[in-house]
Structure 1
Amino acid sequence: MTILADQSLLKLLTNRLARHSFSQYWQGEKGIPVHFVQKMMGHTDIATTKSYYDTTPDEIIQAIKTLAFKK
Structure 2
Amino acid sequence: MFLFSCYTGLSFIDLSKLSVNNIIQKENGKKWIFINRTKTYEPVRIPLLPQALLMIEKYRDDVRATENDPIFPCISNQRMNGYLKEIAEICGIEKNLTFHIARHTFATTVTMSNGVPIESISKMLGHTSIRTTQIYAKVVEQKIESDMEKLENSMAKKLMS
Using structure 2 for the length normalisation, give the TM-score: 0.27
Q: What is the CA-CA distance between 1:50 and the residue it aligns to?
A: 1.8
Residue number in structure 2 paired with 1:57: 144
Secondary structure of 1:20's aligned partner = helix
- Matches of 2:106 and 2:127 in 1, distance apart? 13
Q: Tell me the secondary structure at the aligned position of residue 43 of structure 1.
A: coil
Structure 1: gaps of 5 or more residues? 1-6, 62-71
Cα RMSD of the aligned pairs, angstroms, is 3.0
Runs of 4+ in 1 over 2 A off after TM superposition: 10-13
Query: Identity of counterpart residues, as a percentage?
Result: 33
Number of matched pairs = 53
- Corresponding residue number in structure 1 for 2:128: 44
Which residue does the alignment assign to 1:19? Answer: 103
Task: Give the equivalent residue in structure 2 for 1:33.
Answer: 117
TM norm structure 1: 0.55
Cα deviation, 1:4-59, whole Å, max 9, x if unaligned, reads xxx37x279212x011100012011x10110110001111111111223412226x
Matched-pair contact (CA < 8 Å) for 1:19–1:52: no
CA distance in 1 between counterparts of 2:123 and 2:111 reads 12
Which AA in structure 2 matches 1:41? L
Q: Which is richer in strand?
A: 2
Highest CA radius of gyration, 1 or 2?
Answer: 2
SS in 1 for 2:99: helix
